[in-house]
Amino acid sequence: MPQYVTESTADPSAAPSRIGYVWVNTSAATVFLSTGTAAVGDWKKMDVAATGNFSGSGTPEAVVTASPGATYTDVADPPLFWVKITGTGNTGWRQIVG
């Protein structure tokens, strides 16, 4: 289970320090999950097209069912960006930008 989320305007450029960490490129709206600690290639880009890109008004937590790697944009003012970190149900969302 991921315990740490890094937000940046670029893709990861160094090996992850732990397995299960999440990296979010806020400029490109891409999400990476660390699967090893040996090289930068241990950051695996999540297929958001396959896991889902959702939007709505309000939190997705306990509302939107998705797989890890899915994203959610809360279109309320101010807009917020969420990433599904754990589980396949409707919990495990983490607010990334807001």
pLDDT greater than 80 at residue 49:
no
What average pLDDT score do residues 13-32 get? 86
- The pTM for the full model equals 0.61
With the CA atoms of 83, 26, 97 and 42 taken in that order, what torsion angle do they form, in degrees rounded to the nearest 10? 50
CB atoms within 10 A of CB 8: 14
pLDDT greater than 70 at residue 21:
yes
Residue 38 shares a structural domain with residue 61: no
Residue 11 shares a structural domain with residue 35: yes
What average pLDDT score do residues 69-82 get? 85
Residue 85, judged by CB atoms within 10 A of its CB (0-12, 13-18, 19+), counts as buried
Write the pLDDT tens digit of every residue in 58-69.
999 999 999 888
Residue 17 shares a structural domain with residue 38: yes
Q: Domain containing 87: what range?
A: 48-97
Residue 92 shares a structural domain with residue 65: yes
Please count the structural domains in the chain: 2
Share of the chain above pLDDT 70, in %: 94
Residue 64 shares a structural domain with residue 91: yes
